[in-house]
Amino acid sequence: MDLNYGLRGTYYVFWREMKRFSSQRLRIMMSVVQPVVWLVLMGNMMTRLTDNPFTAEMLGVDNYLAFMVPGVMIMTSLFSGVYGGISIIWDRRLGFLIKLLSAPIPRYSIALGKMSALVIQTMIQVSIIALLGSIMGVLFITGPGGIIVALLFCGLFSAIMSSISLFLSASVKTPETLFAIINFLTMPLVFTSNALFPTGAMPSWIQLISRFNPITYAVAPVRALVTGGWEFDVIVSGAAILLLMLLFLQGVVYYRFEKGSLL
């Protein structure tokens, strides 16, 4: 099976997922409403934190909303990616997955097409959040170039989480089981990261956990681009760690789709 079949298979799966996404207007609206609620309610509720000089110094900004926007962008990438694998379960139930498996395309192209669509969908959602943040007064200190790099980081993190979700959805048979596993994984990830609160405010044992939390390495570069500037040590190290994670997870997904049973 040559490369051409793999590329065509990836494209058709990608295009199908994007058509489904564009036709689900309520899904698009709700995927934006949740982060908006976080920004409008929690962002404004916690603004008085920066009245304390010690807290402002710990946050690194004089506006909690500016600290929070990068975290919400990455959290959106997290949830958009990690729930994306549910389409594998529904395709299996509806009988579409067996048609894909009988087509002359590599099995891995199914995963790659779905992951690519999830990355684009995530970047669209995160762009809306960045726009909303700018309306609320949170501007990227690095300008348009920083916005583009931040969107790439969000897409990269979405690819990592969608890889995990695709592996899980290929291994479990019901959406209830998938949701239970996802909830078990995501809540600890969010609350042991620097997405919403600075690492310095955490107990020492949570600070230790946060060093191994992938969200931390996704939020830090985006936050630097919003409030710190072109901090290349943070940006490059974050990108390197996330890319290594993605390569490892894609190897796992490749082996699962090519060697394992998907039905």
- Taking the C-alpha atoms of residue 164 and residue 250, their distance in angstroms, rounded to an integer, is 9
Task: Look at the chain and count its residues.
Answer: 263
Greater confidence (171 vs 35) lies with 171
Look at residue 246 and tell me whether its pLDDT is greater than 60: yes
Look at residue 4 and tell me whether its pLDDT is greater than 90: no
Handedness of CA 79, 80, 85, 91 (dihedral sign): positive
Task: Give me the mean pLDDT over the 19-23 stretch.
Answer: 83
Please give the angle made by the CA atoms of 4, 263 and 22, to the nearest 5 degrees.
60
Look at residue 218 and tell me whether its pLDDT is greater than 90: yes
- Taking the C-alpha atoms of residue 14 and residue 166, their distance in angstroms, rounded to an integer, is 14
Please give the angle made by the CA atoms of 133, 27 and 126, to the nearest 5 degrees.
25
Look at residue 245 and tell me whether its pLDDT is greater than 90: yes
Phi, psi for 139 (deg, rounded to 5): -110, 145
pTM of the model: 0.90
Greater confidence (12 vs 57) lies with 12
Do the beta carbons of residue 78 and residue 186 sit within 8 Å? yes
Q: How confident is the model at residue 157 (pLDDT cuts 50, 70, 90)?
A: very high
